[in-house]
Structure 1
């Protein structure tokens, strides 16, 4: 049972946004009542890339990332990517799971036909103590926050059967006043109140809690019972904390908070009863409007940078620009705001006053001038096999553990990266011609720190850029190809770096056919024959592997190049039926 409880007084409000509201029919947020905004569902197609890190800012490899029905894993740099998936303009949600951490949620406003970016810091899961399920009892955290379970009030979450053993309580304190709260908070600091209005929440504290049984089973509070949660209020917030405050639980499908109950203030804490364990918080809400803008420099879009908006009371909201420099989301209504563009060390490199806004507003294009010491600009051109400018393509740029995907227009590209140091790093670039389905034979490499570097002309020729997986199940053939609209094929590797992988995972699916998909994982990352460790194909997503089942890797290229091979063997489905599976594949290594 998971709970992140969040008594949210904002020192902070997050400017990254919401999840799909399918019951709402119009396509723009509309001001509603006196407490907030009704946010309407607007499905779009777009891309999402992101970076998952731990509490020490280290990359989290092998984490499971989900967006709707789409699933992938992070690579050794903590990076993931979804291509051409359905998102919601105002309410897209990403979830992340990794053993040893609480489940992560990120809700954001998505841009159509561009690459959206998120960054999420996972919270380590620490065993705080155990409680006897029959007797009930309490456990406390180092800051005196407390979780109290009722006597004979715990059930197994999967079947609601009464549980009578020892309850393991995993918990962590999350400080809403911390500098990195925008990367940690589940979902965002946005919720839906009792009137179905979208509101911004303000926080007075936060907890992450999960309960497990002796065998690792997830537990829940029994129907008709309540647990008590105590949240210690950070010292800097106690003087402004109200006597009572609404309680909110997170909707684990949408990632949005929903109003449910209330909590009462003690001397330095809030305490309230909850009837189920999800993520919880106690918050004050504010009216909102939707604000969007596009951030560019004179050279082009400023992509994947953090934008900060600060309210007169000091509370701040954050968001990341997409590949076109666009960013948007709910902000406080009728308040003057200070807009800042931040570098990777959260230092302001551009500032401007905006607002107040009484209605939904698009600020249009904002051109910023960045200090040279804070920026690196990479420019160049791309030619095809006829040595002519590529009219429609992209470049994959790897720098400091981050992947940037920049479009090529009329043969030219430009990428501006904000930095907080002037150390020298290695740049790797693979150029792709989307018209001819060709790409560079090997990556262009160079060194860079700040200022501008020009790569000259990079050839997108010599190697097919098409990834494919041809596979069969019981003699029925299927084919996935990146040359086919709606097909997605991805590679993910685990290991110490992008060039030293220790495992290989490959995923492929067709958006229009949910049961046309294949994914497999092996602890091999070189040319050779290795056992298949995991395999899922079509409707057989819970099948077991019949040993031996091997994969033959015939080519294992550098990042940006290709992995090729084949596999054949048998799986056993949940009804104990055997199925023959075979595949050949060619997949770009990212």
Structure 2
């Protein structure tokens, strides 16, 4: 299976990823949106890495559907190039949301894994909804669930939940956003995840519902085993803003035993995370002159603490993303079959950096 080849690397990255928060005086305030046209290509798959055909893919004011092989293409979409948002919907699957930096007038590649919806759990919208899952517990208030027209919904609410921890082998493609957030001071920061929860709420006709944004949702998430010893007493509790693409800190969560718990009002994607400063890396990655290292999963982690960021090279071998500031880094490339095909130490970087990187000939599989 694809991810079994990759999991040793990911387990190395995440086993110590939360030992500490990188400290720096440098912060990155939220920038004004630099809008420009860009194009996107990608692959939508399930958690067994089977392609998902006929999934709806949305970006900006354009949409398309995946073909029989799960591939899609969107051209000349006007986006915020700092945070382009791709959303994916397919009946029977939990909705996917991905954020990525985009080359103005260029092209990006990405993969998104969708988790099948399990709708066997439900509650009445007029009563307390105390929903327990392995690894998470969610409590909704009575009359908190609204329809798309913001009317109180008192019928049966079906709940589909995806709990994502950094040790999950498909974390790079299943997580929402891209592990960038906006903290309470308005700074754009990197996020060290301690657990992410995605929730889809549906009425009896499988039409989407949402919390009202006024009453708190109580969220409790189990702290993954490798993180428990060094887990902080309090931690940022973020929700995914599906318009801007950033995780936004709303409040704090608190450690209780081996769990984090907190109350949050916004969104239906939630994340407990600590933060660290980042800079932008713009890399041109070639095997040799004229031969790009194209469409490869690119993991850039801190060398000391193994705190990862994820993105993809595009078909021309271009990488654009945010990485930890002022830290020695390790860049790895993974092919479509999950094989680690390249690794190199890079950095540290204290400001926006462009990089030309020659990998030499890579043994890249054809899935």
Bigger relative contact order (CA 8 A; separation at least 6): 2
Q: Does 1:269 align with 2:272?
A: no
The residue number in structure 2 matching 1:260 is 250
Deviations 1:226-250 (A, max 9, x none): 2211111111111121111111111
Q: Distance in 2 between matches of 1:74 and 1:115?
A: 17
Counterpart for residue 307 of structure 2: 315
Alignment CA distance shift 1:40-1:224 (3 Å): closer
Partner of 2:48: 56
Shift of 1:181: 0.5
Which residues in structure 2 correspond to 1:198-277 (within 5 Å)?
198-222=188-212, 224-277=214-267
Query: What does 1:365-444 align with in structure 2 at a 5 Å threshold?
Result: 365-371=356-362, 374=363, 418-419=364-365
**Counterpart pick for 1:43 among 23, 35, 52:** 35
* Preserved CA contact (<8 Å) 1:117 1:322: yes
| Contact 1:141–1:172, Cα closer than 8 Å, also in 2 | no
CA distance in 1, matches of 2:348, 2:75: 36
Cα distance change, pair 75–224 in 1 and its aligned pair in 2 (3 A): closer
1:18-55 superposed Cα distances (whole Å, 9 cap, x missing partner) = xxxxxxxxxxxxxx964445444333333211100011
Match of 2:326 among 318, 322, 334: 334
User: Matched residues in 1 for 2:203 and 2:89: separation?
Assistant: 19
The residue that corresponds to 1:11 in the other structure is: 14
Distance across 1 between alignment mates of 2:57 and 2:193? 27
| Matching residue within 287, 291, 296 for 1:297 | 287
Distance 1:346 1:269 in 2: 32
Which of residues 120, 123, 127 in structure 1 aligns to 2:115?
Answer: 123
Cα gap change, 1:100/1:83 in structure 2, threshold over 3 Å: closer, same or farther?
same
Q: Secondary structure at the match of 2:227?
A: helix
1:65 corresponds in structure 2 to 57
- Taking a change above 3 Å as real, the CA distance of residues 88 and 165 of structure 1, as seen in their structure-2 partners, is closer
What is the alpha-carbon distance in structure 2 between the residues aligned to residue 187 and residue 77 of structure 1?
24
Give the greater-gyration-radius structure (CA).
Answer: 1
- Say whether residues 1:306 and 2:297 are aligned partners: yes
Distance in 2 (CA, whole Å) between partners of 1:310 and 1:182 is 13
Deviation of 1:216 (Å):
3.3
1:64-122, Cα deviation, whole Å (9 max, x unpaired): 11110011110000011112332343222211111111211121122234332111111
Gaps of 5+ in 1: 1-9, 13-31, 375-417, 422-590
Paired residue for 1:186? 176
Q: Is the 8 A contact 1:220 1:276 kept in 2?
A: no
User: In the TM superposition, what whole-angstrom CA distance separates every residue of 1:474-515 from its partner, at most 9, and x where no partner exists?
Assistant: xxxxxxxxxxxxxxxxxxxxxxxxxxxxxxxxxxxxxxxxxx
Rounded Cα–Cα distance in structure 1 between residues aligned with 2:358 and 2:213: 56
Structure 1 residue aligned with 2:134: 142
Distance in 1, Cα, partners of 2:310 & 2:350: 20
Match of 1:498 in 2: none
- Equivalent residue of 2:238, what SS? strand
Moved over 6 A (4+): none
Once the 2 structures are TM-superposed, how far is the Cα of residue 341 of structure 1 from its aligned partner?
Answer: 2.3
Cα pair distance change 1:286/1:84, threshold 3 Å: same
Contact 2:309 2:322 in 1 (8 A): no
Distance 1:44 1:132, change over 3 A: closer
Question: How far 1:420 moved relative to its partner?
Answer: 7.0
Paired residues in the alignment total 345
Correspondence for 1:394: none
Partner of 2:160: 170
Question: What TM-score does the superposition give when structure 1 sets the normalisation length?
Answer: 0.55
Aligned match of 2:20: none
Residue 93 (structure 1) aligned with residue 85 (structure 2) = yes
CA RMSD of aligned residues (A): 2.2
TM-score normalised by the chain length of structure 2 = 0.87
The whole-number CA distance in structure 1 between the counterparts of 2:280 and 2:193 is 21
On the 8 A contact 2:195/2:221 being kept in 1, the answer is yes
Distance 1:420 1:73, change over 3 A: closer
Measure, in 2, the Cα distance between the counterparts of 1:251 and 1:334. 28
